[in-house]
Amino acid sequence: MSAASQESKTQSGCTSRVNLVPTAGRNLSTPMISRFARVATLLFCFAHLNSFSSVAAGPSQQPQDNSSGQTNVPRVPEPSPTGEAQARQKSFGTVSGSVEDQNGNAVAGTSVQIRCAQECASQEMQSDEDGRFDFYHVAPGPFQLTVTGEGFVTQTISNTLRPGEDCVVPPITMSLAMVVTEVRVSPLSEEIAQEEFKELEQQRVLGIVPNFYVSYFGEAAPLTPKRKFGLALKASTDPVTIAAVASIAGIDQATNRFSGYGQGAQGYAKRYGASYANFASGLWIGGAVLPSILKQDPRYFYKGSGTNRSRFLYAVSRPFICKGDNQRRQPNYSSIFGDLAAGGLSNLYIPERDRHGARLTFENAGIALGTSMVINVLQEFVLHRLTSSRQ
């Protein structure tokens, strides 16, 4: 390229620079400034958006938590659970007192229980060596104290506790309990009862005639069923008893009672068997079986005191009144029904011509009861002097 052209270019370039500058300023400045202004505005807004959002969001959070829905109203703080517990704790109180006997002495070891009218657990403790008791954390309102102790009557008192009060109840006086014991059997030991029974088996009038069914000791131990049967066996097999039955059979033979048996040895044997059966059935039924079932004592208990009239009435009433195994008087069902049963059985073995049904039954029962009355009177006024090995 030549110098002229370069200059020309230079000149034209200069001219162009001179001419282009004003042109650029006129044609490009407005769009560029507008674009820069928009960018700057966006950057400014973006830069302040977070701070604007945080400022705007700050006051809006509190109204959202407010249950009333009002803006800018502060929330009222609720009382803490600790405060409620402390307030409730202040309403409880204490109850204390002492326990003493009728002489004013402290009673230790008694059980003291407190119960409140409100719904709360009852408390229980024992009085100390000074007789004192203390209950803490007791709910206010009506309460009841129950004091129990061995050998004392249970005491119960009521009172009312005010909130936060330290209540001291008056001294609680314990009174001695009256112990009532019902005696069902004799307090005698088994060894003493056995010794009494042995002496009973040895009782004889003039040392010969058995006298087993009488007791000269009013507080004698009751007979067990085993001893009742044992006594009946001994009485029914005693040689003197067998001899007495033989004598009765001989009298019946001599008077020709129950003529259907005939005479001679055969007739005597029948009469002996009938007499022994009548005696043994009455003895076993009225002296062992029924007394064991009904728990009655088959013995006659010697009175020995009072006027003769009272003793006589006592003796003749014993076939109808007896002593039970519980030491109480009661109707003598054993003796009455025993004699009736023996009289009824006699219809089975006496001659048919001499049977009279119910008549014979009541006749034999009446004879047996009358015989018992006579023997009891003799026991009360005569035989007690003639009986050996008496209790």
In the chain, where the domains are located: 3-64, 91-174, 190-388
In the sheet that 209-210 helps form, which strands lie side by side, from edge to edge? 209-210, 204-205, 387-388
Quote the pTM value. 0.51
Q: Which residue has the higher pLDDT, 77 or 365?
A: 365
* CATH hierarchy code of domain 91-174: 2.60.40.10
Listed ranges 114-123, 171-180, 307-316; the one with the highest mean pLDDT: 307-316
| Exposure class string for 163-177: b at 16+ Cβ within 10 A, else e | eeeebeeeebebeee
pLDDT in tens, 203-212: 999 999 999 9
Amino acid 196: pLDDT: 86
Amino acid 147: pLDDT: 94
Q: Which residue has the higher pLDDT, 63 or 267?
A: 267
Amino acid 297: pLDDT: 95
Provide CB contacts within 8 A for 307, sequence distance 6+.
none
Residue 106's DSSP bridge partners are: 100
Computed from CA positions of residues 107, 110, 116, 121, in that sequence, does the dihedral angle turn out positive or negative? positive
Please give the mean pLDDT across all residues of the chain.
78
Q: Which residue has the higher pLDDT, 239 or 37?
A: 239
Q: What is the mean pLDDT of residues 191-210?
A: 89
Give me the torsion for CA of 57, 58, 64, 66, rounded to 10°.
-160
Q: Which residue has the higher pLDDT, 13 or 218?
A: 218
